[in-house]
Amino acid sequence: MSQEIVLEVDGLEVASGGAMDFGMTNTGTPVAKTVVIRNDGDAQLLLDPGAISVPAGYTIVEGPAHAVLDPGVSTFIVLELAADSQGNYSGDFALPNDDADENPYVLRLSGVVVDPSPLQIDDGSPGFSSTGAWNMLAGGNDGDSLWTNPHPVGTHTATWTFQGLPDGVYDVYVTWKIVGAQSSLMASNALYTVTLDGSGPVTALVNQRVPPSGGLFEGVPFKKIVRRTVTNGNLSVQLTNKANGRVSADAVQLVRI
Structure confidence by residue, pLDDT tens digits, 148-173: 999 998 999 999 999 988 888 899 99
Structure confidence by residue, pLDDT tens digits, 64-110: 999 999 999 999 999 999 999 888 899 999 999 999 999 999 999 99
- 49 three-class SS: helix
pTM of the model: 0.59
pLDDT bracket for residue 117 (50, 70, 90): low
Distances in Å between the Cα of 254 and the Cα atoms of 132, 171, 228 are: 25, 6, 10
Hey, what CATH class is 119-256 in?
mainly beta
Structure confidence by residue, pLDDT tens digits, 200-232: 899 999 999 999 998 888 889 999 999 999 988
CATH 2.60.120.260 intervals, the chain = 119-256
Is-contact 32 78, C-beta < 8 A? yes
pLDDT bracket for residue 118 (50, 70, 90): low
- CATH homologous superfamily of 5-114 equals Immunoglobulins (2.60.40.10)
Q: What are phi and psi of 132, to 5 degrees?
A: 85, -175
Q: Burial of 141 by CB count in 10 Å (0-12 exposed, 13-18 middle, 19+ buried)?
A: buried
CATH 2.60.40.10 intervals, the chain = 5-114
